[in-house]
Amino acid sequence: MGPARCLALGGLLALAGLLEGRLVREQEAGFGECDRFFYAGTPPAGLAAAAHVKICQRSEGAERFATLYSTRDRIPVYSAFRAARPAPLGAAEQRWLVEPQIDDPNSSLEEVMDEADAISSVNNLGSKQALHADYLGSDYQTGQLYPFSLSSDPDTATFTLTNAAPMTPSFLKRWYVNLNSLMDRALTPQCGDGEELYIITGAVPSDLKVKDKVAIPEFVWLAACCAVPGGGWAMGFVKHTQDREVIEDVMVKELEKLLPFKPQLFQNNCGESEQDTEKMKKILEMVNQVQDEERRVDSAGDSGTLSSTRSTRSTLLPPEAPGEKSSLLGKLLGFTATPFIKLCQLIYFLAVRILKYLVYFLWYVTKQVTHGLESCLYRLGSTTISYFLAIGEELASIPWKVLKVMVRITRAILRILCCLLKVVCRIVGIPVRVLVDVATFPVYTIGAVPIVCRDIATGLGGIISLFFDTAFGTMGGLFKVIFNVGKQIGYKITFDNPGEL
């Protein structure tokens, strides 16, 4: 029975969140019931895109992991799951499945199904998601971001093509070995019982595509967040898809800068203020061992040695075809020659191993000595340069500082002199004014007496003159009136009695 999904199309569909097994658009809040696979129930922020759909991967009626799938690149952006659990016994049936409602939103099929069965029942199959047929005839295999070896799912939930990206066989093998080694030796042991360990594995697409459809990853990455109270931590890992590339450890913030859209993978950086640095150091020590083992394999050119770093989990490698039955003569010859062959193989193996480990030891000693010398020379050079730069800055600043001090001293002296002059002027200015006013008062008073007397005499003379002018004018006027009246009367008598006159 295939895994069910939680599939819902964005805010335009009224059925969003009502049906289990539906896809959810990136613009929506979360993955529904699959939010528990993320730290604090919060998916990575900043990955909103029209071509991204959220998938709650289900199997046997239970949620197994969450996937953000890119319909443009036809590979997952990431898959998120909780800590690794013991894998089911036996080999899983590699039955690659497709999600009907990615290509046909109107499909009533709510569970994943075989590609062969979907051809006749799903419209536009393969228009937005990769198919197993896209990998056939190419140099790439379907590589799971969340491998079956880390899953406790007894079914095949991880074998959906929405959880797979194109990988070369050699890179796929090394990727699975890296995942198993990191989980078993570095991450899970430093996070209590592993119940609070949140894992996100993703792929960054390149410009290359398989059959012009499925994007080939430029690199794959892993981010881990341990949410144990008082002892949590967060780590990131990157592995480029080129051959001989060793997995690299990075801080989560540095990993976020390498990813498209610069997302925030864990809320509050997985409780950054309460992280346990001691556990992170132990993790880095184990990671260094895994990296050294991978480098030794690369230098020796023996890919078979990688199996020494694997856990007991299955790595999903294809089983070898059984050989034909040997004949009786072949068995007899093999039984006779086997001890000698085994002895020769043992001697050869011991010689090769001794020589190999001797070379490894010399290489390790040389590496440590070289790193020590480089570190010492670097620190010595940095210290010397910093010392001379500091001395140069101080010497260059001395004339400027002296000039500033002289200017400030001069300004202070001028201010003092100005204040003294103001005080003296104020002290001297008050008595001089008083003395001048007192000295000039008698002069002004005595000099004003004649002027006042003259003004009084002038006023009296004017009054007397005005009196006489008034009296004489009044008398003259009376006399003139009387004269004129008498004159008129005399003329009248003369004209009336001329004989008498």
Q: Measure the CA–CA gap between 133 and 126, rounded to whole angstroms.
A: 10
Give the three-class secondary structure for 200.
Answer: strand
Domain with 230 in it: 22-275
| Mean pLDDT across the chain | 79
Q: Is residue 3 pLDDT above 80, yes or no?
A: no
Of 71-80, 216-225, 413-422, least confident by mean pLDDT is 413-422
Nearest alpha-carbon partner for 201 in 170, 179, 171, 177: 179
Q: Measure the CA–CA gap between 99 and 102, rounded to whole angstroms.
A: 6
Q: Is residue 19 within 8 Å of 8, Cβ to Cβ?
A: yes
Domain count, the chain: 1
Say what the pLDDT of residue 86 is: 57
Say what the pLDDT of residue 479 is: 84
Q: Is residue 60 pLDDT above 80, yes or no?
A: no
| 359 assigned to some structural domain | no
Q: How many CB atoms lie within 10 A of CB 264?
A: 15
The DSSP letter of residue 91 is P
Angle 222-86-265 from CA coordinates, rounded to 5°: 20
| 208 assigned to some structural domain | yes
Retrieve residue 481's tokens.
């009136």
H or E segment to which residue 250 belongs: strand 248-250
Say what the pLDDT of residue 492 is: 62
Say what the pLDDT of residue 253 is: 93
Phi then psi for residue 326, to 5 deg, are -80, 155
Say what the pLDDT of residue 59 is: 74
Nearest alpha-carbon partner for 104 in 120, 127, 133: 127
Q: Measure the CA–CA gap between 26 and 71, rounded to whole angstroms.
A: 12
Q: What percent of the chain has pLDDT over 70?
A: 78
Interior/surface letters 470-492, b for 16+ CB within 10 angstroms, e for the rest: eeeeeeeeeeeeeeeeeeeeeee
| 497 assigned to some structural domain | no
Say what the pLDDT of residue 63 is: 84
| 196 assigned to some structural domain | yes
Angle 94-96-97 from CA coordinates, rounded to 5°: 140
Cα torsion angle, 341, 345, 348, 351, sign = negative
Say what the pLDDT of residue 17 is: 38
| 125 assigned to some structural domain | yes
Q: Measure the CA–CA gap between 198 and 388, rounded to whole angstroms.
A: 49
Say what the pLDDT of residue 430 is: 60
Of 20-29, 105-114, 259-268, 291-300, least confident by mean pLDDT is 20-29
Tens digit of each residue's pLDDT (9 = 90 or more) over 344-403: 767 877 888 898 889 889 988 998 998 889 888 988 888 889 888 888 888 888 888 889
| 160 assigned to some structural domain | yes
User: pTM above 0.85?
Assistant: no
Of 7-21, 255-269, 332-346, 447-461, least confident by mean pLDDT is 7-21
CATH of the domain at 46: 3.40.570.10
| 129 assigned to some structural domain | yes
| 144 assigned to some structural domain | yes
Q: Measure the CA–CA gap between 372 and 393, rounded to whole angstroms.
A: 31
Q: Is residue 82 pLDDT above 80, yes or no?
A: yes
Q: How confident is the model at residue 472 (pLDDT cuts 50, 70, 90)?
A: confident
